[in-house]
């Protein structure tokens, strides 16, 4: 994992067309602004996990397979169940 330090109004560029900007910092929370092409979905991790589980249900896939795939996201907070 690449770890970068940024201050308010500073950005990170991913590839040629994704820009992540620190919009605000309040206590232990950071607000990010994300500019990306509309064809690239951008979700909070818990929303992404819920979408993956819902897709697995509608496709009849065993959700254990989805859970194993989602375990590749190591930055989930410990003790916080996936939704």
In 3D space, the residue among 11, 10, 12 whose CA is nearest the CA of residue 2 turns out to be 12
**Whole-number pLDDT of residue 55:** 87
Calpha distance 24→74 (Å, rounded): 25
What is the domain partition of the chain in residue ranges? 8-40, 43-83
pTM of the predicted model, to two decimals? 0.67
Quick: pLDDT tens for 7-27.
999 999 999 999 999 999 999
Q: Which residue reads 């991790």 in tokens?
A: 45
SS3 40: coil
What are the residues whose beta carbons fall under 8 Å from the beta carbon of 57, sequence distance 6 or more? 63
pLDDT digits (tens, 9 = 90+) for 35-64: 999 999 999 999 999 998 888 888 876 666
């Amino acid at each position: 994992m690449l770890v970068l330090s940024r201050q308010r109004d500073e950005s990170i560029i991913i590839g040629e067309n994704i820009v992540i900007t620190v919009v605000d910092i309040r206590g232990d929370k950071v607000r990010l602004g994300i500019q990306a092409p509309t064809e690239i979905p951008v979700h909070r991790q818990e929303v992404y996990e819920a979408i993956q589980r819902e897709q697995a249900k509608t496709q009849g896939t065993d959700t254990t397979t989805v859970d194993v795939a989602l375990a590749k996201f190591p930055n989930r907070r410990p003790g916080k169940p996936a939704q």
